Amino acid sequence: MQLKPFVLAAFFAIAPLGGAWAEGAIAVDDQAGNKPSDAGYGIGFGDTKESAQAAALRICKSAGNDSCKVVVWFQNCGAYASSAEKYGIGWGESEEIAKSKALETCGNSNCRVVASECGD
C-alpha cells in the first residue's frame, strides 16, 4: 500500500486536545512496494498499551491498508524505519533517539525512517 498522507491528519483529528498520552504505538503495512515510502502506517495513543495498539491498527486500516500489524509501542517516542529488505524499530526519551535506534536496528544503508512520533 502507498503511504497515505492523510493518516497523520486522521491521527490529529481523533487525538484529544491538550493532554499527554500514557502509551503510543505504530502499526505498519509494508507488504507491498519496494521502498520505505510504500509502507502505510497508523500512529495511535491510549491510556494503556492495548488501547494504543488498537488505535494504531484502526488508523492504519482506515487508510486502506490490508496487512497492518503493530511493530512498536512506546511511552515517550517511537519510530519505524525500513528498506526493501529490512525494518527496524526504536523508542526512547526523544524522537531523535527513537529514530536513531530504528535506523540502527534496521541495519543497512538503504533504511529510512517511515514513521515517528512522541506522545507528549
- Within-domain flag for 34: yes
Distance separating alpha carbons of residues 4 and 74, to the nearest angstrom? 22
- Within-domain flag for 72: yes
Residue pair 119/76 in contact (Cβ under 8 Å)? The answer is yes
Domain containing residue 50: 6-118
Runs of H (alpha helix) within 1-120: 6-14, 49-62, 95-106
Q: Give residue 83's pLDDT band: very low, low, confident or very high (50, 70, 90).
A: confident
Distance separating alpha carbons of residues 97 and 120, to the nearest angstrom? 15
Paired strand residues for 42: 27
- Within-domain flag for 36: yes
- Within-domain flag for 1: no
| Choice among 10-14, 38-42, 84-88 with the minimum mean pLDDT | 10-14
pLDDT at 39: 72
Q: What are phi and psi of 52, to 5 degrees?
A: -65, -45
How many structural domains are present in the chain? 1
- Within-domain flag for 40: yes
Given a cut of 70, whether residue 3 has pLDDT beyond it is no
Given a cut of 60, whether residue 46 has pLDDT beyond it is yes
- Within-domain flag for 54: yes
pLDDT at 12: 35
Q: What are phi and psi of 9, to 5 degrees?
A: -65, -40
Q: Give residue 117's pLDDT band: very low, low, confident or very high (50, 70, 90).
A: very high
